A = this chain, B = another copy of it.
Amino acid sequence: MEKIRISLAQVNPTVGDLEGNGRLVERAICAAKEAGADLVALPELVLTGYPPEDLLLKPSFVRDNLRTLDAVADAARDVAAVVGFVQPDGRRLYNAAALLAEGRVQAVYRKHLLPNYGVFDEKRYFEAGYGIVVADLGGVRLGITICEDLWGEEGPHVACAAAGAQLIVNINGSPYHRGKGTQRRELLEKRARDNGVAFAYVNMVGGQDELVFDGQSCVISSDGTTLARAAQFDEQLLTFDVAGGAVLGSETSHVGEPVEIVGLAAGSGPKPPVEAAVAPELDAVGEVYRALVLGVRDYLGKNGFGQAVIGLSGGIDSALTAAIAADAIGPGNVLGVLLPTDYTSQESLDYADDLAQRLGVESVTLPISDAYEALLKTLDPIFRDTPWGLAEENLQARVRGTLLMAISNKTNRIVLTTGNKSEMAAGYATLYGDMAGGFAVLKDVPKTLVYELSRWRNQESEVIPVEIIDRPPTAELRPGQLDTDSLPPYESLDPVLKAYVEDFESIGAMVEAGLDEAVAGRVVAMVDRAEYKRRQAPPGVKITDRAFGRDRRVPITNRYRVPSQ
């Protein structure tokens, strides 16, 4: 009975770093060889990083990616490799997978299905491919597909199975959102069973601007059983053996597309057995926490920031942000800044200090009242005889933003903003104030999930003082202020935001689902009004099904109001 060994290289490439990504691939090839693999699969567009966006419009970028492919191909000796790259054909580009062996490109598969929804813009750049590639590796027939191909019921796996493929290697740049792992696994199980073929699914890990890739590479047998799975959010090489019986299915009778069949030699000699490892999955809150940590670590690391500065208010958002930052880059690289006014309560200061100590981050207190008063005095010709109000509240937030940015400029620390998705949705945030910074850690995290994440982080030890979690939320921009002065309670707000922001539901549908009509109407109007603010927000990690940003492209100038029915 034939037996071959395959490694799935769950690596963390960087967009645009052709040389670095090439080295990453070469190291993976090397590691796979050491593991005795006959073939190693790397993620979608691993050479360019994903998504390369408009870099694809630079001819030199496409050309340089081909040079990198040549270099990588040269390393693929004694082991075959499947490597994602951009293939030009005249003026057209293809999202492609090269099958490398014996030091050169043996075949190229071009992605059939191009996602152009949500965060994806692939039809902006790529043409749809046609035809399939099946490789014969030591008697085992392997099909190759790319990411979205898997999501179409009639995707190229059908033709691959018809052409006798027993295992389909599907390479991915599949971004994370909550529960995506389960969604993918169910899909893979269905495709495997429907087509009677096993799947080897390899995904990248790492953060790229607003996206985080979670890995979870896996091997699914043709009866839908998960045989092996790599961990979430970590680089790993997942190696498994394929033998005739257990993993591979029978042929199907579909009529396929033009097939290119490539013969590859499998390594000879006995190999030490590989134990199938199925990494445990993180719980529903833990996976979000890990996504945020990785998103922050990579945004900072890949953009050259070793240190961060965070305004600490004594509230839960800044506490959680600081905890994530400390976990991402180490507490020694995080500076907390307390920026109190006369409205700031002593307990806020105490809680913030306590937090900093528990996290082990340095903190400094810069009282802002003098600067605030000086700005108010400067504004006197215009503010004189007007009632105190929103302008004065925002001014405090902007003094804080200005001070944090000054510290950023002076010390080369990136400012991490602390606002959550509920605030960002409702417009309960100040442009150039608490929204000022390089990365918005909780931008896609609803307030109710901020609480869950804080409790999750406190499981082992109380890193975030429990008083911070238990106190009622306040911006402390005027005496006795509470968030509920301006917003519905978060338990009422968040379900409306989910329905409206993520699912584009009508108010009628929300009411049918049991939400309060008055709250829904009020919240929807707030979301609509705040689009202009979000357009100037820093990037932040996408963790829901629909984040603000490229995922949700709503015009600023927009007179449409969702009807109540």
Contact = CB atoms under 8 A, between A and B. Distances in A.
B432 A402 contact: yes
Contact of A559 (B302, B403, B539): B302
B410 A406 contact: no
B394 A405 contact: yes
B399 A382 contact: no
Interface string A530-560: 0010011111000000000000111111111
Contact of A209 (B59, B375, B399, B555): B555
Contacts of A514: none
A290 B290 CA distance: 51
A127 B432 CA distance: 40
Contact of A117 (B124, B391, B409): B124
Contacts of A55: 554-555, 558, 560
A435 to B, nearest CB: 9
B371 A553 contact: no
Given A14-B559, A15-B559, A367 B378 contact: yes
Interface in A125-182: none
Contact of A366 (B370, B378, B562): B378
Interface in A488-540: 504, 506, 532, 535-539
A226 to B, nearest CB: 32
A14 B557 contact: yes
Interface string A376-403: 0111011100100111001100110111
Closest A-B pairs by Cβ, 8 of them: A16-B560, A374-B374, A391-B409, A17-B559, A391-B410, A432-B432, A16-B558, A16-B559
Interface of A: 14-18, 20, 51-55, 57-61, 64, 116-117, 121, 123-124, 207-209, 298-299, 302-303, 364, 366-368, 370-371, 373-375, 377-379, 381-383, 386, 389-391, 394-395, 398-399, 401-403, 405-407, 409-411, 431-432, 436, 438, 504, 506, 532, 535-539, 552-560, 562-563
Contacts of A394: 405-406, 409
A399 B376 CA distance: 12
Nearest to A414: B532
A444 to B, nearest CB: 16
Given A60-B563, A382-B407, 9 more contacts: A53-B554, A54-B504, A64-B563, A116-B116, A298-B557, A303-B532, A379-B407, A398-B406, A405-B432
Contacts of A298: 557
Given A59-B506, A60-B562, A375-B371, A52 B406 contact: no
A412 B391 CA distance: 10
A52 B18 CA distance: 37
Given A51-B555, A557-B14, A370 B374 contact: yes
Contacts of A506: 58-60
A398 B402 contact: yes
By CB atoms of chain B within 10 A, which of A374, A386, A399, A563 has the most?
A: A374
B532 A58 contact: no
Contacts of A398: 401-402, 405-406, 432
A378 B382 contact: no
Contact of A555 (B52, B117, B432): B52
A165 B378 CA distance: 69
Contact of A560 (B61, B208, B407): B61
